[in-house]
Structure 1
Amino acid sequence: MSSSDLNCGDGGGADTYTGLRIASVFVILATSSFGAFFPVLSKRSKWLRVPNGVFEFAKYFGSGVIVATAFIHLLSPAITELTSPCLAPAWQAYPYPLGLAMLSLYAIFIVEIIAFRVGMAKLAALGIKPDVHGYGVGSHAAHGPEGKSEDEKSASDLEASDPGHFDDSAMAQVLGVFILEFGVLLHSLLIGLTLAVDPNFKILFVVVVFHQMFEGLGIGSRLAFLRLSPRYSYIPFCGALLYAITTPVGIAAGLGVRSTYNPNGTTASIVSGVMDSLSAGILLYTGLVELMAHEFLFSKEMNKASTGKLAYALCCMLFGTGIMALLGRWA
């Protein structure tokens, strides 16, 4: 089979459903914004009161969404893209998608180690003894200072008792969410580019709408649970906004280069395959270590929780994983 039969050239994106593709920019902007902003606004605004149980559900559901995204929506497509027959035989000689995912996983792990050691040294210099399980990149998912959970000790209490400790903790939390969001944003941008030129637009459009909303809930719940002082209160909103606009920007860019961009072409397969692989490693580490381990194994609240609460949390997480994995059937 020749390269032309495989459509391995640089051009050739679909030019059907132009009006609907343009409308998809605004539809996905709305659904992504809802998913990302709803948890943040509900947690921080006085006029939008949502029961605590809704936040708990969103938090565990979001963890499951992130894990399924890593396996089904990133690693699997990366394997397909980097084993494409359009690529040179050298790409078939080694499992590059898995190797790149492993590389990014270790890179994030090393970043966390460095951040942990630097943060601990700073706290020691200030004469502060932190809770080891509450400090670090994953502290947004774990508990804060010894003896109190993140819901029991407010950001204002922390700032009043020890501004230096809160500043270090805030930096660690923001770094943890930034790592998570970075992996998701790469994925969202590629989704937008693909949606703009894919010939199977209608099916993909419906799937992406739900995909972005569920993934937005996962990101939004992480942002909502950040324990930040008033001077950092803008950070969760900036994170939600960045997530909300990334896929629409990708769609708009894809529409702009539709005559030259071929998602099945050699260059596109390599770029998207490498980015998907790296993003998969980031989300695998974040989902399995930062979210699952900290929320279930290192959480004082969960260690003391009843069997029923633990089972409920696990079911919420598995439900999020199942829904996101099911969407992988079509996209």
Structure 2
Amino acid sequence: MASIFTNRRRSHCLATAAIIILAVLTNVSADPAPAPSACGAKSRGGCHDRAEALKLKVVAIAAILATSMIGVGAPLFSREVPALTPDRKMFVLVKAFASGVILATGYMHVMPDSFDDLRSDCLPEVPWRKFPFTTFVAMLSAVITLMVDSYAMAYYKKINAKISGDGGGGANGQVKDSVAGLEHGGADAHVHGGAGDAIDGEKAQLLRYRVVAQVLELGIVVHSVVIGLSLGASDNPCTIRPLIAALCFHQMFEGMGLGGCILQAEFGLKVKFIMAFFFSATTPFGIALGIGLSNVYSDNSPAALIVEGLLNASSAGLLNYMALVDLLAADFLGPRLQADMKLQTWAYVAVLFGAGFMALMAKWA
């Protein structure tokens, strides 16, 4: 009898423990994130027309490609306009405006998008809403950009110093010619010869312009693919219509900033064309990719939100660093603007106009 009572007691305890464990598991499983179907429905809203959205996406590809080419190409052909050559005051003001555009792009467009992605209700609260991944990744991206900037300059200077100290005959002469061609992107150039002849200030500045242009393009291209992919995967015409106009202005003025950097870098014609092509084609490519993946890709799926959020955060850190350090600080703390307070004041006005215009565009894109 005692054994029966003991067994019943054990069964009661086990049943109670099972109920407690089941309740705990139910609460835990209910906590992380909404069901994927709820997230998918959220993205559609009240305006969903796949056929109409596809027509708008095709228009977006053509319009954004054209405006991107105009934006990045305008500075490259500015040598035909004497007032816009790099040694004129007007070029300084245009570059300051474009630098403000790039600065606002990082702070007002890319970083908020990353916050929206990584703090979405479609992601588990732990760890995505418990830790500021956007600012953490942006910080790491800025530091890594500094490292790339620094190591690239040191590497080019070391090669130039080594070649300059070499006599330049035979195989060494061939290496000297190839490195000179690499640095100048195929443009006609020369390297100062003679033992112990260090790289001069003008060439060091030119090398810096090249590093800045290449790293800046990398950050812009990453962001352009992400926003193109998001637009291409959307089936909401009510969202796509204003986004097309906003992205056209966005790409045009961002292209002006990049084009000014490419112009100052004095690359050869081939390199200029390649860099301009990649900038112009990345957003349309992202849209086309989004159209192709629209059946399997959801911009509110957890995987897409995490990937887009991390890429946007990386791009934001890169763009913010490049705008502040390599563009604005380099110009405003340089000898030209330091010696002309009036020009410096107008350049600040241009920066504020560029940043303010792009900040306003964040209302739509």
Distance in 2 separating the partners of 1:36 and 1:73? 19
Larger mean Cα displacement after TM superposition, 6-15 or 206-215: 6-15
Q: Which amino acid aligns with 1:283?
A: L
Q: CA deviation at 1:195?
A: 1.7
Matched to 2:255, the amino acid is G
What aligned pairs does 1:292-331 form with structure 2 within 5 A after superposition? 292-297=328-333, 299-305=334-340, 307-331=341-365
1:18-69 CA-partner distances (Å, limit 9, x unpaired)? 22211211111100000001110222xx5x6554454333211110011101
**Pairing 1:210–2:211 present:** no
Q: Is the 8 A contact 1:6 1:86 kept in 2?
A: yes
**1:8–1:264 CA contact under 8 A, matched in 2:** no
- The residue that corresponds to 1:176 in the other structure is 212
Structure 2 length normalisation: TM-score? 0.74
CA contact (8 A) 2:65 2:281 kept: yes
Question: Any conservation in 1 of the 2:153–2:211 contact (CA below 8 Å)?
Answer: no
**What is the match of residue 261 of structure 2?**
222
Q: Distance in 1 between matches of 2:135 and 2:274?
A: 32
Distance 2:219 2:73 in 1: 19
Aligned residues: 295
Q: What amino acid does structure 2 have at the position aligned with 1:304?
A: A
Deviation at 1:4, TM superposition (A): 2.1
Alpha-carbon spacing, 1:59–1:211, altered in 2? closer, same or farther (3 Å): same
CA distance in 2, matches of 1:30, 1:218: 16
Give the equivalent residue in structure 2 for 1:147. none
Task: Tell me which residue corresponds to 2:148.
Answer: 111
- 2: distance between equivalents of 1:169 and 1:20? 44
Alignment correspondent of 1:91: 128
Q: Relative to structure 1, is the Cα distance of residues 184 and 25 closer, same or farther in structure 2, using a 3 angstrom cutoff?
A: same
Gaps of 5+ in 2: 1-33, 167-186
**What is the TM-score of this pair, normalised by structure 1?**
0.81
Q: What residue is the counterpart of 2:169 in the other structure? A: none
Once the two structures are aligned, what percentage of the paired residues are identical? 31
Label 1:3 to 1:185 Cα distance change in 2 as closer, same or farther (>3 A). same
Deviates more, 1:177-186 or 1:251-260: 251-260
- Separation in structure 2 between the aligned mates of residue 7 and residue 320 of structure 1, nearest angstrom: 36
Aligned ranges 1:1-331 → 2 under 5 Å:
2-7=35-40, 15=50, 16-43=52-79, 46=80, 51=84, 52-88=88-124, 89-125=126-162, 126=164, 159=189, 162=192, 165=199, 171-198=207-234, 199=236, 200-228=239-267, 232-297=268-333, 299-305=334-340, 307-331=341-365
Alpha-carbon distance, 1:241 to partner: 1.3
Q: How far apart are 1:171 and its partner, in Å?
A: 4.7
| Cα-Cα RMSD | 2.7
Q: Distance in 2 between matches of 1:92 and 1:72?
A: 20
Q: Which amino acid aligns with 2:337?
A: M
Read off the aligned partner of 2:65 and give its amino acid letter. L
Q: Which amino acid aligns with 1:104?
A: S
Q: CA deviation at 1:294?
A: 0.3
Whether the aligned pair in 2 keeps the contact of 1:10 and 1:260 (CA below 8 Å) is no
* Aligned residues of 1:65 and 1:321 also touching (Cα < 8 A): yes
Question: How far, CA to CA, are the matches of 2:203 and 2:151 in structure 1?
Answer: 17
Find the residue that maps to 1:177 and give its secondary structure: helix
Deviations 1:74-112 (A, max 9, x none): 111101101111112221221111110111111111222
SS at match of 1:225: helix
CA distance in 1, matches of 2:158, 2:145: 20
Query: What is aligned with 1:146?
Result: none
- Amino acid across the alignment from 1:233: L
Q: How many Å apart are 1:2 and its aligned residue?
A: 3.7
Q: In 1, distance between residues paired with 2:49 and 2:298?
A: 9
Q: Is the CA contact 1:9–1:262 (under 8 Å) kept in the aligned structure 2?
A: no
Partner of 2:176: none
Note if contact 2:56-2:240 (Cα within 8 Å) is conserved in structure 1.
no
CA drift of 1:262 comes to: 1.3
2:263 counterpart letter in structure 1 = A
Residues 238 and 170 of structure 1, relative CA distance in 2, 3 Å threshold: farther
CA displacement, residues 209-246 of structure 1 (integer Å, 9 cap, x when unaligned): 11111111111111122234xxx332222211110111
